[in-house]
Amino acid sequence: MKLSSIIMAKFDFSKRESFGSKFGIIAAAAGSAIGLGNIWRFPYIVGENGGGAFLIIYLFFVISIGIPVMLSEFAIGRGAQRNPIGAFKKLAPGKPWFLVGIMGVGAAFMILAFYTVVAGWTLEYLYQSVANGFKEKTAEQIGEMFEHFRTTYRPVMWFLVFMLFTAGIVISGVKKGIERYTKVLMPILLLILIVISVRSVTLPGSKEGLDFLFKPDFTKITAGTVLEALGQAFFSLSIGMGTLITYGSYISKKENLTTTAVSVTMADTFIAVLAGIAIFPAVFAFGIPPASEEGLVYKTLPIIFQKMTGGYYFSLLFFILLGVAALTSTISVLEVIVAYFSEELNISRKQSTWLGTAAVAVLGVFASYSSGVFSFLNFTSASILLPLGGLLIVMFIGWYYGKKKTREELTNQGTIRVVIFPVYMFLVKFLAPIAIAAVFLYGLGVF
């Protein structure tokens, strides 16, 4: 082949893959949404920020903003059948909307780099659980274990192992990789979480934990809490950067996008609440003050497993749960990068996967050792790029793509009814952009 023809060659879009079944779509998309955000982050944030009071605000955002953004991403993806950058180029030719896609692919690199670092810690804790490494250690010693671990070579090693697992699934494709694994992993995740929750709420003294989680404390609600709730909703639902544009592009034209978005959102919220039920009653039953964010899972829980009958097995189950939740999320983020590389640069899925993995690996090594890099990636992606992306996505649908084309896409060219369509259009045109912009600007300290 001549060089010019290699460079000129275009991706053959007729060979684009798609998901094989409704359950496969839900498993993949819920797999993306359900992750460390649900199990590692949500319980702690709820407990700290006023329990039930925070939950109400969170639910309000999930319904009024989360579902509309998710549905918009599905509509863009399925309408265009492209990666996020290609999708905007196709739906808005010659317009600057593709910059939203570029932001999304950029965010994918950043999220993957710090998120997989935390996912890697899970493997160390799984290893320690198997090896019974927490045995007879005091609370301080377990806390020190975590701090010490982070100064060794091991976080980088586990990070790389986790990236390899992720790449191994993505490389096999949409149907044979992502769909096949998420269909098995998601039911396992649900089962483990139910087992742990039952154990947790049946411990004597567990009621205090449920109070911590659910009892509304409105004095804790501040503007900052509201911001936290919106940020958490975006992160937890995997919206705002094109992950669901990418997955949406693999959804068949016959599926109902609206019910899919609602199901995925419900599954994500249910699992987040269930994770809180799995963690807090046990924490309070043993009278241990819950440690902050990362500490809750990596410092507090190992102490509890020490004290609990059958703790060895619950520890194993818990870290398997966390690893599985993280894995079905990391594959969805890597897929954004792979779809982009393979379609826009026209290189094979295999090459795209390795190229993406290598690039993320470099960033991730820095994120592993430097808490400054870690925080920078976390803040820039979760607090800036996701809300900004979400804002632009709903504005794209509401103000550019418009009612007519959006209705065609959501009703499958008029063959199915979408009862909430007028409400959805109102939300994406007015409420969602205004609310996201307000919360976003507040978060940046503009007012």
CA distance 101 to 189: 31
Alpha-carbon distance 127 to 295, whole Å?
18
Q: For the CB of residue 12, give the shortest distance to ligand TRP in the complex, in Å.
A: 27
Task: List the structure tokens of 321.
Answer: 């749960």
Interface mask (CB under 6 A) for ligand TRP, residues 321-350, using x and -? --------x--xx-----------------
**Please, which residues have CB within 8 angstroms of residue 347's CB and are 6 or more apart in sequence?**
341, 355
CB of 38 to ligand TRP, least distance (A): 5
Please say which residue, 311 or 387, places its beta carbon nearer to ligand TRP.
387
User: How many angstroms separate the CA atoms of 292 and 192, rounded?
Assistant: 24
Q: What angle do CA 119, 125, 126 make, to 5 degrees?
A: 90
Which residue has tokens 């003294």? 205
Q: Which is nearer to ligand TRP, 171 or 333 (CB)?
A: 333
241 versus 257: smaller Cβ distance to ligand TRP = 241
Q: Binding residues for ligand TRP, how many (CB under 6 A)?
A: 16
Residue pair 174/313 in contact by the 8 Å Cβ criterion: no
**What per-residue string of b and e applies to 199-210 under the rule 16 or more CB within 10 Å gives b?**
bbbebeebeebb
- Tell the smallest beta-carbon distance from residue 32 to ligand TRP (Å): 5
The residue type found at 171 is I
Token match 């586990």: residue?
Answer: 158
Binding of residue 177 to ligand TRP (CB under 6 A): no
73 vs 344, beta carbon nearer ligand TRP: 73
d(CA 101, CA 231): 20
Shortest CB 236 distance to ligand TRP, Å: 4
Q: How far is the CB of 142 from ligand TRP (least distance, A)?
A: 24
Residues in the chain, overall count: 447
**128 vs 329, which CB is nearer to ligand TRP?**
329
* Among 25, 33, 271, 304, contact with ligand TRP (rule: CB under 6 A): 33
Closest distance of CB 322 from ligand TRP, Å: 10
Binding residue for ligand TRP (CB under 6 A) from 29, 30, 31, 38? 38
Q: Is 37 in the site for ligand TRP (CB under 6 A)?
A: yes
Task: Select the residue interacting with ligand TRP from 27, 36, 45, 418 (CB under 6 A).
Answer: 36
CB of 105 to ligand TRP, least distance (A): 12
Smallest distance from the beta carbon of 367 to ligand TRP, in angstroms? 15
Cβ-based nearer residue to ligand TRP, 51 or 242: 242
Distance of closest approach, residue 41 Cβ to ligand TRP, in angstroms: 7
At 414, list the tokens. Answer: 């008029």
CB of 387 to ligand TRP, least distance (A): 11
By the rule CB under 6 A, 276 interacts with ligand TRP: no
Angle subtended at Cα 378 by Cα 372 and Cα 384, rounded to the nearest 5 degrees: 120
Distances (CA, A) of 9 to 6, 61, 80: 5, 44, 20
Class of residue 343 by CB neighbours under 10 A (exposed 0-12, middle 13-18, buried 19+) = buried
Stretch that binds ligand TRP, among 33-41, 81-89, 205-213, 392-400 (CB under 6 A): 33-41
Residue 35 is a binding residue for ligand TRP (CB under 6 A): yes
Q: 414: Cβ–Cβ under 8 A, 6 or more apart, which residues?
A: 408
Site string for ligand TRP, 212-251 (x = CB under 6 A): -----------------------xx-x--x-x--------
Spatial distance between the Cα atoms of 346 and 348, rounded to a whole number of angstroms:
7
Cβ–Cβ < 8 Å for 178, 336: no
Q: Which of 32, 197, 249, 406 binds ligand TRP (CB under 6 A)?
A: 32
Can you give the binding site for ligand TRP, defined by CB under 6 A?
32-33, 35-38, 111, 235-236, 238, 241, 243, 329, 332-333, 386
